[in-house]
Amino acid sequence: MEDFSAEFVRFAAERGALRFGAFQTKAGRSSPYFFNAGAFNDGASLSRLAEFYAKAVEAAGLDFGMLFGPAYKGIPLAVSLALAFAARGRNVPFCFNRKEIKGHGEGGDIVGAPLAGRVLLVDDVISAGTSVRESVALIRAAGAAPCGLVIALDRQERGAGSRSATQEAAELYKIPVVSIATLDHVAAYLERRGAAAPLAAILDYRQRYGATPHE
């Protein structure tokens, strides 16, 4: 396990972004955990979150020229990640989309730097993949190239088929998908803490709904 993955899971749990119990997913499944990136809602926690994103990007060796944050949760993530890279001495342009096209002022559906070159998407998780699909379409329509996606947590959970939304996105758009941590890291965190009940629930959920491992 990457050290930053273990640190991130612990940080997310302490912050309340990662919670354990009984939660309903969009797919109608009863999940024993819930991840909410919106819980990183102040300067200190968002800054630390961005550091984890930066470490994940650097560890994966992703080659990119700018950042794109899908509305809405991707917006602060891309902005804070750009700041994290600036603190490392790398000035990276960023932009994000509007949900509705603006008809006055500068107009359009993109805010920030012009989409160009190799674009790295930044988001919290992948669920149905709608945000990724729309973002890739916007980037390509501008003549730029999506070159990767970085997310906070890979649920490793299958969708309609045997593959996860993360795996499907990587295969469909031919881009690497990198996560700070995965559900396996969450299970390892619970095991280290001796949290037998939530760990058993996570492992059972993984057994029933887990995606086919990457080949």
Task: Tell me if 96 sits within 8 A of 90, measured CB to CB.
Answer: no
- The active-site residue, picked from 26, 99, 104, 174, is 104
Task: Tell me if 158 sits within 8 A of 55, measured CB to CB.
Answer: no
Catalytic residue flag (residue 174): no
Return the C-alpha torsion angle 157, 162, 163, 165, nearest 10: -50
C-alpha torsion sign, points 81, 72, 112, 137 = positive
Six token digits for residue 38: 């919106």
> In sequence order, which residues have a C-beta less than 8 Å from that of residue 92 and are 6 or more positions away?
64, 65, 66, 67, 81, 82, 85, 86
Task: Tell me if 125 sits within 8 A of 152, measured CB to CB.
Answer: yes
Catalytic residue flag (residue 26): no
H or E segment and range at residue 10: helix 3-15
- The active-site residue, picked from 102, 174, 185, 214, is 102
Q: Which residues in the chain belong to E strands, given as ranges?
A: 18-24, 30-35, 66-69, 94-102, 108-112, 118-122, 145-154, 177-182
Task: Tell me if 69 sits within 8 A of 94, measured CB to CB.
Answer: yes
The residues assigned a catalytic role are 102, 104
